[in-house]
Amino acid sequence: MLSVPDIVRRLDLASGTIEGCPTTERRLSDLRGVFADSDAYESALQQQDPLIYRVSTIQEGTGQGELHCGLGVLMPGRVGSEYFMTKGHLHSWRPAAEFYIGLKGRGIMLLETDVGNDSVWCNLLPESLVHVPGNTAHRTVNIGDEPLVYIGIYPSDAGHDYSTLTARNFRLVVVAGSHGPKVIRRTDFPAHRLP
């Protein structure tokens, strides 16, 4: 049966919630191992455990051809010189691609092949759309002063694999430089100094 209340959902872009949908919150304490600067991470966590991001999902549809969707709100802030970011993941069903649509704020997406041998970054901005191909790990980074709000749309059978990236992390790191955000290789991170 087609039913309009099930078809149309209200998005609350301020809180990052989709009406009537489950929401997951990630605090700083949920992101151990994500930031390259583990000393800065531990000392930030001793001060407080702020909300880093919230994702509200539509995931009722199952079966071939169905889609799922997540509305993400990633807070502004830094741990040491690194901007707040999501955990990042691969899709468990590796061929599953995803579209990200920027709604508010200024972000960067880190994309990396599933085997970790190639990495790129791109902007995630309002009125722009990022195609995350299949077999590609993805992470979102807020480089602005306001919450970064975006939507991701992906196949219902994509699934989320966090453990592969927990083990190896992304090769690229986004840091505040003296001339604004810059993307460096993780292997170069120890040489990086706060502006």
Positions touching ligand F6R (CB under 6 A) are 55, 70, 72, 86-89, 98, 138, 140, 152, 154, 158, 160
Tokens read off for 119: 């990495």
Q: Which is nearer to ligand F6R, 89 or 106 (CB)?
A: 89
Place of tokens 């991170």: 189
Question: What residue number has its CB nearest to ligand F6R?
Answer: 70
Tokens read off for 189: 């991170």
Closest among 134, 128, 127 to 113, alpha carbons compared: 134
Q: Which is nearer to ligand F6R, 56 or 81 (CB)?
A: 56
**Which element (helix H / strand E) includes 6?**
helix 4-7
Tokens read off for 41: 């991470």
Interaction with Zn ion in 12-71: which residues (CB under 5 A)? none
Q: Which is nearer to ligand F6R, 81 or 86 (CB)?
A: 86
If you compute the radius of gyration of the chain from its CA atoms, what whole number of angstroms results?
Answer: 17
Site string for Zn ion, 66-105 (x = CB under 5 A): --------------------------------x-------
Closest among 50, 51, 58, 55 to 16, alpha carbons compared: 55
Question: Which residues contact Zn ion by CB under 5 A?
Answer: 98
